[in-house]
Chain A
Amino acid sequence: MDDDLIVADMYRLALSRAGHEVQVANDGVAALRAILSSRPDIVFLDIRMPKMDGMEVLRDLASADLTRSIPVVMLSNYDEPRLVKESISLGAKQYLVKAGTNPAELARVVSQWVEAA
């Protein structure tokens, strides 16, 4: 989930080249809808998004039975400690800063949090 299409494209490329099926949503509302309908194995969540920001999405995911168990990794350009703390306390597994993250890394992150199918 990222409102920046170019960034989303880049991660999509990296993940699909690593053999994963990728869905992209560009705002919080679309993100929730997509997650609820397709039940992904892992969600990479940006914070700054229109309509509903990442933290809200995270809260909703954590409170719904259907989605509670899906691992969520924050992928944002904010590096404020309070955001990191809040997202972890809401149930996010990890907090990554985009500008410092090799997209190829994402594949490794996936295998870390998703039990082997």
Chain B
Amino acid sequence: MTTTGHRGQQHELVDLAFDAMFIRTFHDRIITYWNEGAQHLYGWTRKEAVGRQPAALLASQYPIPLEQIERELEIKGRWEGEIIQRRKDGRTITVRARWGLQTDAAGEPQSILEINSDVSPERHAVDELSRSEERFSLLVSAVVDYAIFMLSLDGRVVSWNEGAQRIKGYSHDEAIGQHFSIFYRPEDVANGKPNRVLEQAIEHGRFEDEGWRVRKDGSQFWASVVVTALKDRGGVLRGFAKVTRDITDRRLAEQAREADRQREAAELRGDAERLAELERLKTEFLNLASHELRGPLAVVRGYNWLLRDNVLTIEDLPAITKVVEAKLTQMNLLVEQMLEAARLEAGKSNLNQTTFDLRDLVLEQAQTFASVSDEHSIEVVQRDGPVMVAADGARVGAVVANLIDNAIKYSPHTRDVKVRVDKKDGYAFVAVRDFGVGIASEHIHLLFKRFSRLPTEQNITTGGTGLGLFLCREIARRHGGDIEVESSPDHGSEFTLRLPAVG
């Protein structure tokens, strides 16, 4: 060693130090001394290092420019900081550098003693840890959709995040130290649920659940919960992590969807039922209609047979021909009704509009019916002066016929049927009044329904297809009018056909 004695001793001591130490000249920055520690830390041998510049040799990255460091050294005599350097094998390291300035007798900077210690592993770990701690903290605190908090072994809250506050309502300070059973409903606590939760977490490592939880203000929410048992590296239970999400909305949405589904199903069922009912009514109607035809048919055939077999005398004929004609009219009416109903249903019926005096039509119909029933007298009262309408004569005739027919049918014990033709407020009226059985007020709404027949004793024995009034109203409405009824049980009824008047 080509060193002076004292210097030599110093150097020996320095050599013993673990840390990397080297000396370099101030101005030229040439390494003049290189210790074992430096050799160990950097990989360069003394021989390789002495005579080189540290910056170049070690690819030093200084926190602030080197010149600034040297300025500081001149002023303060020392400097401390972290430098990133490169070993001989290329590995990057971080060192904590402590530099001291050596001056000559005159105080001029001569050389710098650099003592560098490797803080790379620590640094990485600390960095990593603090970065990761920071990241995690950020994550947990920033997450507002999830309550993320930790419980001690005995179930007390030891941490609390934004989400927990938002979801459960307790602030950080209010929550810390509380037993987590405060989040459960009283009935669940009584049931021992919170303890079961922890037991499950311990046994299986985790516990997952959906259920009602309680907020600070007492309100309840539907929660999705995961409780995880936290064990250290030795496998010892240290506490629990709880993540809770408020899924009340989702549950409400699910329930709403379920309700919708059920409602739809009910609607479909209702539709199916209605269709089935309609089918049933149709079949019933067809049966009823064909049966109805049998009545008048029996009479017409019967008398025809009697005529053929010479049972009838000449004297019988006038009365009988009247009867036969009435029955044929009745059959015709039935057939027309059935056809009309079919037509209306198929959506095709064009009104054959002509302009005519309603009085004429009513008179004609009344006369036809006069022959049908000897027991009834049909009186027509008409306004002076024409009652003109623009309408389908055949159809309106059918309506009037129907009304008169009903009046007769439903007054088996009374005689009078009064028909009135009038005009008022731009409408023409035909009112057919009978004094027979009348209609109960609770049945009135059924009158005009298709296929419907009132559920009365009378109707068991009175013929009819149930179509008449429905068709009548349809026809009236097609013309821009309507049919109204006023009735009182045992006092009779008045049906009024209303049509727009012209002229």
Chain A residues at the B interface, C-beta cutoff of 8 Å? 3-4, 6-7, 9-11, 13-14, 17-18, 48-50, 53, 77-78, 97-104
Contact = CB atoms under 8 A, between A and B. Distances in A.
B301 interface: yes
B327 interface: yes
A17 B303 contact: no
B250 interface: no
Contact of A103 (B291, B297, B305): B305
A101 B458 CA distance: 27
A97 B461 CA distance: 17
A14 B294 contact: no
A53 B457 CA distance: 12
B461 A14 contact: no
Contacts of B297: 99
Interface of B: 291, 294-295, 297-299, 301-303, 305-306, 309, 311-312, 316, 323, 327, 457-458, 460-461
Given A98-B302, A102-B309, 6 more contacts: A13-B312, A18-B311, A48-B461, A50-B460, A77-B298, A78-B291
A97 B302 CA distance: 12
A77 B291 contact: yes
A50 B461 contact: yes
A32 B297 CA distance: 28
Given A13-B316, A77-B291, A104-B306, A99 B298 contact: yes
Nearest to A5: B375
17 contacts: A3-B461, A7-B298, A7-B299, A11-B302, A13-B306, A13-B311, A14-B302, A18-B311, A77-B294, A98-B295, A99-B297, A99-B301, A100-B301, A101-B302, A103-B311, A104-B309, A104-B311
Contact of B311 (A14, A77, A78): A14
Contacts of A101: 298, 302
Given A10-B302, A13-B306, A49-B461, A4 B295 contact: yes
Contact of B302 (A50, A53, A102): A102
Nearest to A107: B311
B294 A6 contact: no
B238 to A, nearest CB: 85
Contacts of A104: 305-306, 309, 311
Contacts of A49: 461
B305 to A, nearest CB: 4
Interface centre among A10, A18, A49, A53 (most CB of B within 10 A): A10
A30 B202 CA distance: 92
Contacts of B316: 13
A53 B460 CA distance: 10
Contacts of A53: 460
A78 B291 CA distance: 7
B224 to A, nearest CB: 64
Contacts of B323: 6, 9
B467 to A, nearest CB: 19
Given A10-B302, A13-B316, A17-B311, A98 B294 contact: yes
A78 B153 CA distance: 88
Contact of B299 (A3, A6, A97): A6
A103 B302 contact: yes
A103 B312 CA distance: 12
A82 B323 CA distance: 32
Contacts of A18: 311
Contacts of B302: 7, 10-11, 14, 98, 101-103
Contact of A6 (B306, B311, B312, B327): B327
Contacts of B457: 50
A27 to B, nearest CB: 8
A78 to B, nearest CB: 7
Per CB-CB distance, the 9 closest pairs between chain A and chain B, nearest first, are A98-B298, A102-B305, A77-B294, A99-B298, A99-B294, A99-B297, A103-B302, A50-B461, A104-B309
